[in-house]
Amino acid sequence: MTTAAEIAFGSLLLVICAIVHVGIVTAAIPVIIRVASALHGARTALSVLLLLSLGVIVILFAHTIQVWSWAFVFLLINAFDVFADAFYFAMATYTTVGYGDVILEPGTRIFATFAAVTGFLTFGISTAFLMTVISALFPKIHGHDT
């Protein structure tokens, strides 16, 4: 893959993944609101646990889709021969852990950096989403009564 192709394809996949991630989080908001309403605004330990768990499950689902997407694309562009290696690399790169034990050949390295940018961006979105859920559960902490 040429450098221009790596940048273009990496940018495209980054945008698609970000839109999917935001879409999943956005779709979860009405569900969380309905669950909170069904709990009649109770702030019991069990209701807080349920709502926070629901938020975390949504985030985990969204990130899982991203990592699997990157892994499949790494297979598609022949960066890896087997899914296990593609998934391992995608997970290490997406989470920005980057162990360095697996290094891609020239022609795919720049493309792979977009997986790290995707993870960095979507983890930020996930943090904001979870903080919003927490803020809604505990409005008095922030000086707001609802």
What are the pLDDT digits (tens) for 10-26? Answer: 999 999 999 999 999 99
What are the pLDDT digits (tens) for 64-117? Answer: 999 999 999 999 999 999 999 999 999 999 998 988 888 899 999 999 999 999
Sketch the domain layout of the chain as residue ranges: 3-142
CATH topology of domain 3-142: Helix Hairpins (1.10.287)
Burial 74-104 (b: 16+ CB within 10 A, else e): bbebebbeeeeebbbbbbbbbeeebeeeeeb
Residue 126 has pLDDT above 60, yes or no: yes
What are the pLDDT digits (tens) for 20-79? Answer: 999 999 999 999 888 888 877 666 778 888 888 999 999 999 999 999 999 999 999 999
Per-residue confidence (pLDDT) for residue 13, from 0 to 100: 96
